Structure 1
């Protein structure tokens, strides 16, 4: 069977599943902040299934809808800019790659895993050795990436290096707010061990309340924004937000001379 035929069959299966879900969850109780689809409820998602999590149309999760709502409400990308995007989620890739005012740089250590059909290709980049010059990007989006990186301090310093003075970025990670300090144990190397310790087979730490401090140590001015609290419980359900998630907005201020 040719690869083109396999792709066509997979595409038809995806479209069938999508239409079936849209029929089952038909309604107007929840609203996706990205694609603006409405349903009676979002789908369950995750290793431990989270209710009201995944949009049946665009596939966005809680963190995607929250970040996009935040970007829109705060008008963070309403001007021409260079945007670096690590591990580019398709829901954002589709928006950024089509924007006439965004010079878009999606990248990943393993770009071959992305089969996006947009006009912008995903480039190879190691977040601990970013292949761009200093002070290059106006905005950086790094959403649930740092928890995979053993040397996250080096990754944060690289993000700081390539960000322009007066630039900004949103760097989201899973955080256990019951932990004062980030928990990491690099003697745990098996997938089973990491799943038990960090909640995912490919995670190397659980961030704690000190995440803001870790970003600040890299040089960023960090706003730990409890943006979610500006929404009622009903609105949080409507948009499918995680009520515990905060937004980490990082700025690079010009150095004083």
Structure 2
């Protein structure tokens, strides 16, 4: 199964994968029902989650029902337990909206919910993150998760995110990050897709972020909280929800 999923991820374009997944998901839910693991987003339980990864694959990473990964389930728990995201009125900008969240956020009556991306079929507004068509100080909350590692000029993207976030608002800008690496690594001379997937974790990533990612956000003007939310959870919850222990949620604020 691992080889099959790896082949699918590396051959089928992401927009097409999104469309196909809507057809495949009910079948996966039916055959993988069980009592070992729980998706906290919808409460469904399974005997196993699915493997996932463009390069090295991770076991029990992808939920069959919501198609959430570890980072999505961790963020859901954080938003639910530590913020007023689900209860107060907010204008939200969501980049490259994840399927695990899209319909749920869209249906929340307390949200004025706007999605954007250059390619996603789920985007309301087709836009370049480095040149956004939004006013200054327009959004209370911004989600930009696993996007910046695709952007050559991530400094310009961060500046645009800062510009459109309201003072007093917050954002979550998750990225794949090697916390053992002090400095972010880039090498545009590596052009082979297989080699890029091996080194960067995915063929279309342009960098591996290190611990300096947080300081780069601060240099743009954000206040940054490096939230290790798994540190507040029991080992049983981490295992049951299939989370990545020690994963950091970068929560940013604009004063």
Give the TM-score band, short-chain normalised: 0.7 to 0.9
SS of alignment partner, residue 51 of structure 1: strand
Q: Is the partner of 2:173 in helix, strand or coil?
A: strand
| CA distance in structure 1 between the aligned counterparts of 2:144 and 2:218, rounded to whole angstroms | 16
C-alpha distance in structure 2 between counterparts of 1:23 and 1:156, whole Å: 41
Q: Is 1:102 the counterpart of 2:104 in the alignment?
A: no
Choose the corresponding residue for 1:54, options 62, 65, 70: 62
User: Which of 1 and 2 has greater Rg?
Assistant: 1
Q: Please say if 1:176 is aligned against 2:178.
A: yes
Structure 2 residue aligned with 1:156, among 146, 155, 158?
A: 158
Aligned to 1:43: 50
Asked if 1:213 is matched to 2:215, the reply is yes
How far apart, in 2, do the equivalents of 1:190 and 1:76 lie?
Answer: 44
Higher mean Cα deviation, 25-34 or 84-93? 25-34
Summarize deviations over 1:10-64 as a string: whole Å, max 9, x none: 689525xx33x33543322211111110112212112322111111111111111
Is the contact between residue 52 and residue 237 of structure 1 (CA under 8 Å) also seen in structure 2? no
Match of 1:14 among 20, 24, 49: 24
Cα distance in 1 between the residues matched to 2:57 and 2:31: 18
What's the CA shift for 1:144?
0.4
Q: Secondary structure at the match of 1:143?
A: coil
Superposition RMSD on alpha carbons, in Å? 1.8
Residue 235 (structure 1) shift = 1.3
- Could you list the runs of 4 or more consecutive aligned residues of structure 1 that deviate by over 4 angstroms after TM superposition? 10-13
Q: Which residue of 2 aligns with 1:201?
A: 203
Provide, for residues 151-208 of structure 1, a one-character-per-residue CA deviation record: whole Å limited to 9, x for no partner.
1111011100000000100000000111101111233344234223312110000000
Matched, 1:91 2:93: no
CA contact (8 A) 2:231 2:246 kept: no
